[in-house]
Amino acid sequence: MNPDTTRASLLLRMRDPDDHRAWHDFDAAYGELIVRYCRARGLQLSDAEDVRQLVMLSLSKSMPRFEYRPEIGRFRDYLRRTVRNAITRYMQRHNNDEIGIDTIALESMSVGDDAMDAEWDRQWTQLHCRTALRSLRRESDPRHVDVFERLLNGDSIQCAAESFGMSPESVRKIKQRAKQRLQALIARQLRQEDGLD
């Protein structure tokens, strides 16, 4: 998805069922989030992909009359409800058909709303971090991003400095600048998503 396209404008475009680019952009932006959330809830990958399709189908039915009004609620909450409803419908349908959704998935779905909300928020945060990291990679020195990602993956400053033939002070500066830029990118994404940018 184009990082300069606001979520609010994307939602407006999705009101037209024939705007295939808007639907593709939405799936590119949120499809992985939906699948990861389903997987974290215990669904197998194929079941998670089916739920993703159910979400898209549900949205295709509701979007022509959907009005995004940030003052009423955040888009992420609307999408969370849509995904949770799709999971419930999917689980009920397949449980009734005795297709064999495994017991672990059913048990994980019975976890309280607070746990489900916390998992959604965790996945949402990771989505924004991954999106911001892709933007950072496009706009920054690739070597600096490689250093930063090594640090994110747990390498110490000393280890990263040795691996990249840099001084520890250079690695600290790279880390500080990348972290600040990442925070700014995430903040911008959140403003766009809430229709404030």
pLDDT single digits (tens) 49-80: 999 999 999 888 888 887 777 777 778 888 89
Let me know whether 123 and 145 are in one domain: no
Structural domain that includes position 161 = 140-197
* pLDDT band at 103; cut points 50, 70, 90: very low
Q: How far apart are CA 190 and CA 183, in angstroms?
A: 11
As a whole number, mean pLDDT of residues 37-42 equals 91
Let me know whether 37 and 115 are in one domain: yes
* pLDDT band at 197; cut points 50, 70, 90: low
Q: How far apart are CA 136 and CA 132, in angstroms?
A: 6
Tokens representing residue 6 in the block:
């606001």
Q: Is the pTM of this model over 0.75?
A: no
Let me know whether 46 and 68 are in one domain: yes
Burial class (CB in 10 A: 0-12, 13-18, 19+), 190: middle
